[in-house]
Amino acid sequence: MKYYIIAGEASGDLHGANLIKHLKDSDTEADFRCWGGDKMKAQGATIVKHVNDLSFMGFWEVLINLPAILKSIRFCKKDILSYKPNALILIDYPGFNLSMAKFAKKNNIKTIYYISPQLWAWKQSRIKTVKRYVDKMLVILPFEKIFYNKFNYDVEFTGHPLIDAIESEKKKLISKENFIKKNNLPDKPIIAILPGSRKIEISKMLKIMAQIVKFFPDYQFVIAGISSLMPSFYEKFTKKTNVTIIYDQTYQILHSASAAIVASGTATLETALIKTPQVVCYKAGMISYHIAKKIVKVKYISLVNLVMDRIVVKELIQNDFNPNYLKDELYRLLTDEQYRNEMLEAYNKLENKLGGAGASKNAANIIYNYLKEE
Q: pLDDT (tens digit, 9 = 90+) per residue, 88-146?
A: 999 988 888 999 999 999 999 999 999 998 887 777 888 999 999 999 999 999 999 99
Confidence of residue 58 (pLDDT cuts 50, 70, 90): very low
> Quick one: which of 29, 32, 27, 35 has its CA closest to 10?
35
243: pLDDT confidence band, cut at 50, 70 and 90?
Answer: very high
Query: For the domain 166-353, what is the CATH code?
Result: 3.40.50.2000
What residues form DSSP beta bridges with 216?
none
Q: Which of 254, 231, 251, 255 is nearest to 243 (CA)?
A: 231
Contact between 196 and 202 (Cβ < 8 Å): yes
Q: What is the pLDDT of residues 269-306, one digit of tens each?
A: 999 999 999 999 998 765 554 445 555 566 898 999 99
If pLDDT is split at 50, 70 and 90, which confidence band does 65 have? low
Confidence of residue 57 (pLDDT cuts 50, 70, 90): very low
Q: Angle, to 10 degrees, between the axis of helix 66-83 and the axis of helix 94-106? A: 40
Query: What is the CB neighbour count within 10 angstroms for residue 200?
Result: 16
Give the global pTM.
0.82
Cα–Cα dist 217/232, whole Å: 24
Where is average pLDDT lowest: 52-56, 178-182, 318-322?
Answer: 52-56
Quick: pLDDT tens for 320-352: 999 999 999 999 999 999 999 999 999 999 999
Apex 81 CA angle, 77 and 85, nearest 5? 110
Paired residues of 192 in beta bridges: 222, 260
Q: What topology does CATH give the domain 2-159+358-373?
A: Rossmann fold (3.40.50)
Long-range contact pairs involving 168-174 (C-beta distance under 8 Å, separation at least 24): 169/251, 170/251, 170/255, 170/274, 173/251, 173/252, 173/255, 174/252
Identify the three-state secondary structure at position 294: helix
Range(s) for CATH 3.40.50.2000 in the chain? 2-159+358-373, 166-353
Single out the residue of 72, 40, 42 nearest to residue 55, CA to CA.
Answer: 72
Calculate Rg over the CA atoms of the chain: 21
The torsion angles phi and psi of 372, rounded to 5 degrees, stand at -65, -45
**Cβ–Cβ < 8 Å for 126, 108:** no
